[in-house]
A = this chain, B = another copy of it.
């Protein structure tokens, strides 16, 4: 295994340049055109057979070095509509077209640039050290993780048919945590998230003549209140679920009852059966609260997006945790609690029916984290920036990239070496 890592550290200078270039040129979900070009070129130069335009802007590099086993390494490419603060000289001043069609500032505020840099570092290292392992490596650069559709788009674009089979899928994400620290959790790691748009159909009219209307605002309000019972009454106290109505919009003039009301819901669950129960209950409540008012037609319930539950294969995650501990020292490896956040990485392993493991790596000055095992406490206390914040710019950059690249090679080596 240590043969695989030899020389990796020297590679980091160039990888840092790649990182800074990506950071300066962030692109929004499904708009990662320049990013894809840069990554495709690097993979080609390293000897990978590269396919672009997979699921929109996705890039897949394949390095065959013997048939088996296959290892999928994934990084996500998209940035966020956030205006970066002035903290580094490679700061982004880019803009992009937001979901409403407006121009918006764009920033890698979730650190996907570190994922890509580490993936390229690992891919180049594995390509150069190919005499020390055998098998097939798939380097997957996925679009649109932030809106939850990128992995699915690649899979729907024939990913499994078009590319070699793989025995494990590996991915990683930067966290607000100290540089060089790694966080691996066997089993359920991140929540399933389902976002829904509910459109309630009433009948509009004059505010002084409610009897001639079916008031959609009363229906929407009844739905919001009744949805509270899903978590409070329909889920076992030991199970975890969140049902949030995060937006409601209806009407404009103060004396005109509108014809419709729109709600946006967000659901988080950690168990497929609980997810089914919650979604079924939402549908039931929405329909019957509208019917209780005599609504002229059923509300529309449309998915906005959906993140699957992210479950790490227990054996594979334990092996990776043990390898990290052996390689980097126990003080740098932690088992975190499950997170309510969501991620679509798991779709690859699920689709292929193979194990997948996703872990976090820290990216910030350790001085901000009194207890490296509990980095969330530091974020909650305001000591360190959280993901999606305009201040989410890694401070311990080279150690971070070195460790992330080494972690990816180490984990891949468990299958390849």
Contacts and interface: CB of A to CB of B under 8 A. Distances in A.
A206 B254 CA distance: 30
Given A195-B255, A247-B250, A238 B240 contact: yes
B265 A226 contact: no
Interface residues of A, number: 74
A268 to B, nearest CB: 5
Interface string A227-271: 111111111111111111111111111111110010011101000
A195 B252 CA distance: 12
Contacts of A253: 246-247, 264
Contact of A340 (B237, B250, B265, B337): B237
B293 A242 contact: no
A113 interface: no
A282 to B, nearest CB: 11
A289 B222 CA distance: 10
B218 A228 contact: yes
A211 B281 CA distance: 12
Copies in the complex: 4
A247 B242 contact: no
Given A224-B217, A232-B228, A284-B294, A240 B237 contact: yes
A365 B29 CA distance: 59
Contacts of A197: 254
Given A237-B242, A240-B237, A244-B207, A254 B232 contact: no
A337 to B, nearest CB: 7
Contacts of A235: 211
A252 B236 CA distance: 23
Contacts of A228: 218, 225, 228-229, 232-233
A220 interface: yes
Given A211-B236, A237-B268, A287-B292, 16 more contacts: A208-B340, A210-B232, A210-B233, A210-B244, A211-B237, A213-B233, A215-B244, A217-B245, A217-B248, A218-B224, A218-B228, A231-B232, A238-B240, A246-B251, A249-B249, A255-B266
